[in-house]
A and B are shown apart, each in its own frame.
Chain A
């Protein structure tokens, strides 16, 4: 259907990149504009996720941190869809960064955590504190400090 629709266009006609799984599509629609379609962001603005975001699951506060981020907690997705997006983000986009024993997020867990959004903290300072622990104790790459930029 896709090819049929778009292959008849003029030279240089645009073709869609393809089909997405449901969590991948939801990630692209709600997160990908800033964090990048493959999780590589403009690191001056928002953190890169590719190969990095899973490190947060080394700490209980880090695991809770992701669903408590305001734009995740306030998402229009329901708990189950949101848990699926978080798992896609951590285990697919962040592949190789989560600890081997990390469990996937569950809908009930995400439902509880998103009721406690991180609205009463300075987010950048809160994140920096988590990242320092991850770098010093869990061998997270220093790139995590600078939102994924090469130099922290």
Chain B
């Protein structure tokens, strides 16, 4: 890339060449010029300044921000990764934990059962319960039947026939007899 002519009719770096210099991708000719030209060096420094400012400010911010973040999260999260077993370790740990819980829970439950009273005294209660339930349900059924019968009797006594109300008797739709004999004929 050739050098460009500026307003003072001297050869200097173009804006694209300044960009190349910022990117570290300069042609040798431009690089030589930059080393010898104070004006272009100043232009490059001026172009670099905002980016360097951004870089400095943001690094200062992220350093401060990072310092406030805990390392502990990483330790806890990375803990299982430290072992050679890798991801399988938590599964084994869970299995061991379940076994330990069962080993502790079963004796405790048995001990509590003994403390609640004589096991033999509880068995008849448990056995007799269905019998008692059965007799109770029979009594209930009997009472229900009696109540339904009484209701039927009351309904039969109070029912007025359609004829008494001036209505014709209603034939059932499922009767075998035709509703209108004339049509049948």
On whether the two chains bind one another, the answer is: no
Seen from chain A, the residues whose Cβ lies within 8 Å of a Cβ on chain B are: none
